[in-house]
Structure 1
Amino acid sequence: MTTHADLGLDLDVSDTDAVADRRDEIVAAVRDHAGTIAYQLAKLQGGDYGRRELSTPGGTWTVKHEAGELEFLLFSPKSGSDVYVISTKQPPDPTDLAAALDDYANLVAAWNEYVASLSGVLDGVSAEFPEPASTDGVVAERDRVLGAIRQTCTLIAGEIHRYEGDDYGTYTARVDGDRWELKWDEGTVSYLRVGGSGGLYLLSQYEAPSAADVREYADSFRGFVEAYNEFVDDLESDLATAEL
């Protein structure tokens, strides 16, 4: 049986445990310390996640947080490759870590300088503002007009449902160049839309249109009702000529 000695491989292999352990110890200490910066940054930005770049003599540091916890700490030196001092993936190479930590004190100084620059920035800013105007009156008028439109459309939907005999369907008419479509479902209004598939929903199961849109189309709605009445008149005329 061939052995390592026979192959000339009877050589000692150095153990990296001590270096890896020391690296992990330093990374843990940096995570705790930089975690304070991440937490303070999260409070300052006020969001669930964010980041901040800080320039130092050695390069640029990027602190990224998520929900106030440090997600990563990246060092981008002025020369050389980026180093993720802290990340959610593998730990950094010990040599790269050592090079980055030579500049870490400058990161802390840059952070402190940044925070100091914000001191007093809101001094003298008044927190007293004019009272916002209420939209109650506008909303009430919009709802009054839409209520009348819905009531009329409900009558139309009921009549068409009774005439057609189907559980659901649509009635369309063209008014002043616009295509109006009333969709009904078992005699109730599903929607009233102006302008085709990409148009405006005057009535729907979702949000109400703006007061300006209601104002724009309220008069045209009369034309839609008149078109429906003409449709019914034509039906009655056709039926009047039928003989049994």
Structure 2
Amino acid sequence: MTDGVDAAVDKMGDVAERRNELAARVRTHAGEIARELAVFEGGDYGQATFETDSGTWTLKYEAGDVQYLRFEPTSGAEVYVVSSKQPPDPEALETAMADYAAFVAAYNEYARSVADILADVPDEFPAVESTAEVVAERDRIGERIREVGNAMASELYRYDGEYGTYATTVSGTRWELKWDGDVAAYLRVGGSDGTYLLSQYGPPSATDVHRLVDDVDAFVEAFNDHVDDLEADLAQVSFD
């Protein structure tokens, strides 16, 4: 009677090698589906689920490559056919691969179902109206406001120094002119979160100009009253 110590041990390397080869082939093949889905969905990553008679397949992808391919049979444990972790158990892989063709068929059916999704979508669109005229008018008014702001800045620079701010209230709203040298750095209406009628960045919207332009005269008048109160030799400005 032998104690078995000298018994031959069957090698399982061939099974593991076959498992690894099959998993690699599935990754490559499923990668084609992943790339098609990524192109269709218009993103670098996502996931899609496909139902078969035997279970549910979930393909997660990123940058056109498979992150994982999971099979959840109607009965039994789920198996990650492709994953970034350990390879699947050979028996579980065998179970999943018996349904892999059905998974591919489900994807192909989905791809065919969306092939004509844009067939009836019009590719001709209404003409776009130009805003050139209103923008030109906005810029004309804005240039006039800048001329007035610079005139104020010049007087304030002459009287109060290199830079500073002049603020007043018009129609219950704070108007603030900041000058830097003899030019206006900004004219802001409405406090720190307000609207910049003048700035170093870009012009205000035509809507904001329309909303605020009627109060520019009152702002100038308040400035001129300020000049009168100073009783100094500062030139008054006007906004026509």
TM-score > 0.5 by shorter chain: yes
* Cα distance change of structure 1 residues 59 and 164 upon mapping to structure 2, 3 Å threshold: farther
2:99 counterpart letter in structure 1? D
Aligned to 1:113: 109
The match for 1:148 is 144
Cross-structure match for 1:190: 185
SS at match of 1:197: coil
Counterpart residue number, 1:56: 52
1:85 touches 1:91 (CA, 8 Å); kept in 2?
no
The answer to whether 1:91 aligns with 2:86 is: yes
Q: TM-score, normalised by structure 1?
A: 0.77
User: Which has the larger displacement, 72-81 or 206-215?
Assistant: 72-81
Instruction: State the SS of the aligned residue for 1:131.
Output: coil
The C-alpha deviation readout for 1:71-120, integer Å capped at 9, x for no partner, is: 44344555666544334x31343255444434322221111111111233
The verdict on how the C-alpha distance between 1:36 and 1:176 changes in structure 2, with shifts beyond 3 A counting, is same
- Give the letter for the 1:51 counterpart: Q
* Whole-Å separation in 2 of the counterparts to 1:182 and 1:21: 78
Structure 1 residues 177 and 109: CA distance shift in structure 2, 3 A: same
Whether 1:35 aligns to 2:31 is yes
Cα distance 1:93–1:69, how it changes in 2: closer, same or farther (>3 A)? closer
Paired AA for residue 165 in structure 1: G
RMSD: 3.2
Secondary structure in 1 matching 2:140 = helix
What are the superposed Cα offsets for residues 111-148 of structure 1, whole Å, 9 maximum, x if unpaired?
A: 11111112333334332222111111121111111222
Q: How far did residue 174 of structure 1 move? A: 0.9
| 8 Å CA contact 1:169, 1:183 repeated in 2 | yes
**CA 1:116 to 1:229, structure 2 compared with 1: closer, same or farther past 3 Å?**
same
> 1:188, 1:82 → 2: CA distance?
72
In structure 2, the CA distance between the partners of 1:209 and 1:41, relative to structure 1 (3 Å rule), is same
**What is the rounded CA distance, in whole Å, between the counterparts of 2:9 and 2:113 in structure 1?**
53
Q: Which runs of 5+ in 2 are unaligned?
A: 1-7, 235-240
Equivalent residue number for residue 132 of structure 2? 136
| AA matched with 2:122 | S
Q: Residue 35 of structure 1 aligns to a residue in which SS? A: helix
Q: 1:234 aligns with which of 217, 223, 229?
A: 229
Q: Distance in 2 between matches of 1:13 and 1:232?
A: 105
Q: Distance in 2 between matches of 1:231 and 1:13?
A: 104
> What is the number of residues matched between the two proteins?
229
More off after superposition, 223-232 vs 77-86: 77-86
Alpha carbons 2:20, 2:87 under 8 Å: kept: no
Which has the higher mean CA deviation after the structures are superposed, 64-73 or 141-150? 64-73
Amino acid at match of 1:104: Y
Instruction: Say which is worse superposed, 31-40 or 16-25, in terms of deviation.
Output: 16-25
Identity %: 52
